[in-house]
Amino acid sequence: MTKVTLITSSTMGSAEILEKYRFDTEVTYGPSFKELPTKGIWLIVCSTDGAGELPENIQPLAKEISEEKPYLSQINYGAIRIGSKKI
């Protein structure tokens, strides 16, 4: 069974949907990079705040990834943004 790590900053039912299709899931809420597996699949699902900014609880992870540029060649990932940008 393929394991999917859901990285989220909003409440959702994606884990249940994935499990229905026989994916093994682990849900994290605003994790640090050290808490995540270094191989497998990451599905990042988060809402946006204000004018499209990331929520506070996911900003540390985004900063770790952008500044430290960890080696992620064994990670397959997808990102889903929920929300809309104010114009």
Query: In this structure, what CATH number is given to the domain that contains residue 36?
Result: 3.40.50.360
User: How far is it, in rounded angstroms, from Cα 40 to Cα 62?
Assistant: 18
Range of the domain at 54: 3-82
Of 26, 35, 29, the closest CA to residue 2 belongs to: 26
With respect to residue 87, please indicate whether it lies within any of the assigned structural domains: no
How many helices and strands, by DSSP H and E, does the chain display? 2, 4
Domain tally, the chain = 1
With respect to residue 62, please indicate whether it lies within any of the assigned structural domains: yes
Using an 8 Å Cβ cutoff, are 42 and 72 in contact?
no
Tell me, yes or no, if the pTM score tops 0.85: no
Q: For residue range 17-62, what is the model confidence (pLDDT) as tens digits? A: 677 777 788 888 878 888 899 888 998 888 776 777 788 888 898 8
Q: Report the pLDDT value the prediction gives residue 22, as an integer from 0 to 100.
A: 78
Confidence band, pLDDT 50/70/90 cuts, at residue 13: low
With respect to residue 50, please indicate whether it lies within any of the assigned structural domains: yes
